[in-house]
Chains A and B, each alone.
Chain A
Amino acid sequence: MAVKVRIPAPLQRLTQGLGEVEAGPGTIIGLVNDLDKKFPGIGERISEAGKIRRFVNVYVNEEDIRFLKAEGTEVKDGDEVSIVPAIAGGC
């Protein structure tokens, strides 16, 4: 078992077209770094200077990490992480 990570379309070119990949447990920012080792370049697309980019939303088991411990949120084996660009709606 590992952490399941859902990859949005704009980043799938970096994951050989995969919409779902696996990463090791740890903090969210650690997970991003781990992904970057497997899929070089993906790290700087999601984060900048150790922070998740403004228009990237990250969810752990469907909860926005900004309601958890942000970049320091811990994920463990079996957790599901979604990376989703912000989108519009309402007024």
Chain B
Amino acid sequence: MSYVKGLKCRECNREYPVEPVYVCEFCFGPLEVIYDYNGIKKVLTKEVIEKRGQNLWRYRELLPIDGEPQVGLQSGYTPLLKADNLSRELGVKELYVKDDTVAHPTLSFKDRVVAVALTKAREFGFDTVACASTGNLAHSVSAQGAKAGFKRFIFIPATLEASKIVASLVYEPNLIAVDGNYDEVNRLCSEIANKYRWAFVNINIRPFYAEGSKTHGFEIIEQLGWKAPDNIVVPCASGSLLTKIWKSLKEFKEIGIIHDVQTRIFAAQATGCSPISTAIKQGTDVIRPVKPNTIAKSLAIGNPADGFYATQAVNESGGYGEDVSDPEIIEAIKLLARTEGIFSETAGGVTVAATKKLIESGRIARDEVTVVCITGNGLKTQEALHGQTISPYYIKPNLASFEEVLNKMKNVK
């Protein structure tokens, strides 16, 4: 049974029935799913959740579906890793990595939102799913849509990393590479969505799709032993993930799973595309769009749709925003890999580098519990590291050649 009461405009509070609509017809404000929390409170307890399968559907009453989950049955419930080596390196007491580099099936947190979006698309009766994407979403819609038997149209900026394009093509969707940046692709898609009756997961399915991100937050709380951390650092492109993590904390409080939310939420962006962290630093809620220029392509959204709400969530929680340069991103990817054995995509480099800066500036206290959200796998953006890693040792296939190298290494160390 569903606990969804309907959709509501975040701007003007007009209410709408559960339909594939994505903006308020009156003021264009985004629509938010509203739930019957009193009803959910009676059925969704820690004990109930703990008995369920280790996937994102363990929180299903707080997700906007009517029937049984149909897509992404194994998605979610990624590890929350206690990052002792990285804590030591950064000089903090307790640091955790929420590791969506191993999300099923396509190695990014997008598997969460797509599981929910495609289940909802099926409930609405669509036979075609589509998305505008910088890569990770394209992979997940291509893959999960293939398994679920949808026709798929995937729109990407033509400049995306080659490896990211292959990782969509292998699932054989209709891949449309657009000569433009992500914002231009998005704008084109909103015009296409007007004309064709398809389930565009990040357009007309957006209110449902975005709810899937909450599971990243629910899992952090559950995996910390049903406690909210002091700080969460979240990478921001549109600002949607951050906004939904904040919502997840509030919902767990609302239904009595946690008693208090003292968590500060921090927005991490690349300096080459930082409209959200800039607004936070300047103390304004006016998001000025920018033309992105950063290696963190999955975060390169110059015109962030949820930027206003992300800024509000950060301010309400007492957090802050920070931005980091491309060299800092590379350095942080390598830091996370050599300390915790996790190879993150560039967005994770943004998060780790921003965390480092926030600790150094005292915004994050050294004796607190901090969670960093790592949202995608580094194997997807290997180009970013070309020429930036250490080099291999080349030898002949004999022992003498190996030992010659070994001796050199000893001399160096």
Contacts and interface: CB of A to CB of B under 8 A. Distances in A.
Given A45-B26, A54-B308, A91 B241 contact: yes
Contacts of B228: none
A85 B28 contact: yes
B186 interface: yes
Interface stretch (A22-30, A32-40, A58-66, A71-79): A58-66
A45 B240 contact: no
Contacts of A10: 21, 23, 25, 28
Contacts of B206: 87-88
Contacts of B26: 45
Residue in B109, B183, B304, B305 whose Cβ sees the most chain A Cβ within 10 Å:
B305
Given A57-B187, A84-B187, A91 B303 contact: no
A51 to B, nearest CB: 11
Residue in A85, A86, A89, A90 whose Cβ sees the most chain B Cβ within 10 Å:
A90
B149 interface: no
A8 B24 CA distance: 12
B17 interface: no
Contacts of B360: none
Contact of B303 (A8, A53, A57): A57
Nearest to A10: B25
A87 B202 contact: yes
B150 interface: no
A82 interface: yes
Given A6-B191, A8-B190, A89 B137 contact: yes
B234 interface: yes
B39 interface: no
A2 interface: no
A6 B298 CA distance: 29
Nearest to A13: B25
Given A54-B308, A55-B29, A89 B186 contact: yes
Contacts of B143: none
Contact of A89 (B21, B22, B28, B132): B132
B235 A88 contact: no
A68 to B, nearest CB: 11
Residue in A8, A56, A62, A86 whose Cβ sees the most chain B Cβ within 10 Å:
A86
Residue in A45, A67, A89, A91 whose Cβ sees the most chain B Cβ within 10 Å:
A91
Given A10-B23, A56-B28, A82 B191 contact: yes
A9 interface: yes
Contacts of B132: 87, 89
B134 A55 contact: no
Contacts of A13: 25
Contact of A91 (B11, B28, B189, B237): B237
Given A87-B190, A91-B347, 17 more contacts: A9-B194, A10-B21, A19-B195, A55-B305, A64-B183, A66-B289, A82-B187, A82-B191, A86-B23, A87-B22, A87-B132, A88-B305, A89-B134, A89-B240, A89-B301, A91-B237, A91-B375
Interface of A: 6, 8-10, 13, 19, 45, 53-57, 59, 62, 64, 66-67, 82, 84-91
8 contacts: A9-B194, A54-B11, A56-B28, A66-B289, A85-B22, A86-B303, A87-B132, A89-B237
